[in-house]
């Protein structure tokens, strides 16, 4: 019996036991999502900041006309909670992505998306495990509402971080505290999150691939938001923290002896402490119309040409009870004139809810890097939720 069957039996067993015991609740959920994507790039490699689709049987590239893709990551999960005492509640969640397009030995099968244990009471929420990044909650959600595309201006900044903190999506090994409802929504007048990233730095050096950062806490995220009527303002700051290992120090000393600028820069990068930040807003103009704004920056922790910046604006309109439209635009700039400059990023999504559990959508993401090239991804997807 393979691992997928064992997981299915375990989930079914937990869910079925609820009627016979006082165990924590168990809510099984998920969806199958498959898209047909056309991908085109010129002068770039692997799309740079535009996601070229994922879990395709033969990859997805400019070399082919189109491909089936599971880039939203079909998934299965289980979550629940249990009353403890004095108003405290225990929570948990496990969620796995599934490659539904490839059943060969090359398929990655099930992989962790989220997995945490939580404890909460009223506005106080503690979590330990793999979680959504605070940067995603408090910054991306201002202007990026597409399921898999529309993130070029976002990735342009967040890819400066190290470990799973890079790209500002989901983070491994996190201890977090949130007051209020967090950055996704606007229900809390005031909300904030602080997260400690534990041992989440995979940079290494040497033949033995020794870790260059032996710190316990390798990153910190701090975020907050305040809602005033129809307007929500938010801000977030994320930074890698480094305690240089003996191997990293020796590597830097050796690089300095060579007097080679490139080797020295590479050795310093292994123990750099990059940081990213974002400030933004969401405004609910009417019950059907919302606007978003985000200004983001990255500090590479180098002596010169440290910073990268992006600005994005977007709108989301609920056309009718079944149709939602999202459009956005962004620009980016790097202080290093030799680096790619994001001249423009146009993106959008149209979502149509066929039934309560089945939907279809169209997405596109276009990024223009001037002389360095451009990329366009267009995607039509269908989803069945359960």
Q: What is the tens place of the pLDDT at every residue in 106-157?
A: 656 688 999 999 999 999 999 999 999 999 999 999 999 999 999 999 999 9
For the question of whether the overall pTM of this predicted structure is more than 0.75, the answer is yes
- Nearest by Cα to 48 from 348, 342, 379, 349: 342
Give the β-pairing of 217-228 and 231-240: antiparallel
User: Quick one: what percent of the chain has pLDDT higher than 90?
Assistant: 77
Residue 294's CB is within 10 A of a number of other CB atoms, namely: 27
Name residues whose C-beta falls within 8 Å of residue 255's C-beta, 6 or more positions apart in sequence: 263, 264, 266, 267
Distance CA(76)–CA(97), nearest Å, equals 7
Say which range, 52-61, 145-154, 344-353, has the weakest mean pLDDT: 52-61
Domain count of the fold of the chain: 1
For residue range 78-105, what is the model confidence (pLDDT) as tens digits?
Answer: 999 999 999 999 999 999 999 888 877 6
In the prediction, which pLDDT does 7 show? 53
Residue 252's CB is within 10 A of a number of other CB atoms, namely: 20
- CATH number for the domain harbouring residue 148: 2.40.160.10
Distance CA(360)–CA(352), nearest Å, equals 5
pLDDT higher than threshold 60 for residue 13: no
pLDDT higher than threshold 90 for residue 329: yes
Distance CA(60)–CA(67), nearest Å, equals 6
Residues 379, 364 contacting (CB under 8 angstroms):
yes
Residues 53, 377 contacting (CB under 8 angstroms):
yes
Burial environment of residue 103 by CB neighbours within 10 A (0 to 12, 13 to 18, 19 or more): exposed
Name residues whose C-beta falls within 8 Å of residue 157's C-beta, 6 or more positions apart in sequence: 276, 278, 296, 297, 298, 308, 309, 310, 332
Phi then psi dihedrals of residue 333, to 5 deg: -145, 140
Q: Is 246 helix (H, G, I), strand (E, B) or coil?
A: helix
Distance CA(138)–CA(224), nearest Å, equals 7
> In angstroms, what CA-CA distances link 190 with 88, 234, 285, 302?
21, 10, 20, 35
- Nearest by Cα to 377 from 100, 87, 147: 147
Structure tokens at 52: 């070229």
Q: Which residues pair with 226 in a beta bridge?
A: 190, 233
Where in the sequence is the domain holding 81, given as residue range(s)? Answer: 3-385
For residue range 198-243, what is the model confidence (pLDDT) as tens digits?
Answer: 999 999 998 788 999 999 999 999 999 999 999 999 999 999 999 9
Confidence of residue 18 (pLDDT cuts 50, 70, 90): very low
């Amino acid at each position: 019996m393979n691992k997928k069957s064992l997981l299915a039996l375990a989930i079914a067993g937990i869910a079925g036991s609820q009627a016979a015991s006082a165990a924590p609740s168990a809510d099984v959920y998920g969806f199958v999502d498959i898209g047909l994507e056309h991908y085109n790039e010129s002068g770039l490699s692997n799309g740079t900041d535009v996601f070229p689709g994922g879990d395709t049987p033969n990859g997805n590239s400019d070399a082919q006309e189109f491909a089936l893709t599971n880039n939203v990551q079909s998934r299965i999960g289980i979550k629940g909670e249990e009353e403890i005492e004095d108003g405290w509640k225990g929570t948990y969640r496990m969620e796995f992505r599934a490659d539904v397009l490839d059943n060969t030995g090359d398929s990655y099968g099930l992989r962790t998306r989220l997995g945490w244990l939580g404890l909460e009471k009223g506005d106080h929420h503690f979590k330990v495990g793999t979680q959504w990044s605070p940067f995603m909650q408090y910054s991306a959600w201002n202007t990026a509402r597409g399921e898999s595309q529309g993130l070029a201006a976002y990735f342009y900044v967040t890819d400066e971080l190290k470990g799973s903190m890079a790209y500002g999506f989901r983070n491994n090994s996190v201890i977090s505290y949130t007051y209020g409802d967090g950055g996704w929504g606007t229900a809390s007048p005031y909300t904030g999150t602080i997260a400690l990233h534990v041992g989440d730095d995979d940079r290494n050096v040497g033949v033995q691939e020794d870790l260059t950062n032996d710190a316990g806490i390798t990153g910190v995220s701090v975020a907050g938001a305040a809602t005033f009527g129809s307007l929500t303002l938010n801000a977030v700051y994320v930074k890698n923290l480094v305690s240089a290992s003996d191997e990293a120090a020796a590597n830097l000393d050796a690089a300095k002896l060579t007097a080679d600028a490139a080797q020295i820069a590479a050795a310093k990068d292994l123990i750099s402490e990059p940081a990213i930040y974002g400030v933004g807003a969401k405004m609910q103009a009417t019950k059907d119309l919302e606007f978003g704004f985000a200004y983001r920056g990255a500090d590479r922790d180098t002596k010169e040409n440290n910073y990268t910046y992006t600005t994005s604006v977007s709108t989301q309109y609920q056309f009718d009870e079944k149709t939602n439209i999202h459009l956005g635009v962004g620009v980016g700039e790097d202080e290093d004139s030799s680096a790619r400059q994001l001249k423009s990023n146009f993106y959008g999504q149209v979502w149509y809810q066929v039934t309560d559990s089945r939907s279809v959508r169209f997405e596109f993401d276009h990024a223009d890097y001037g002389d360095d090239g451009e990329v366009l991804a267009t995607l039509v997807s269908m989803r069945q939720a359960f």
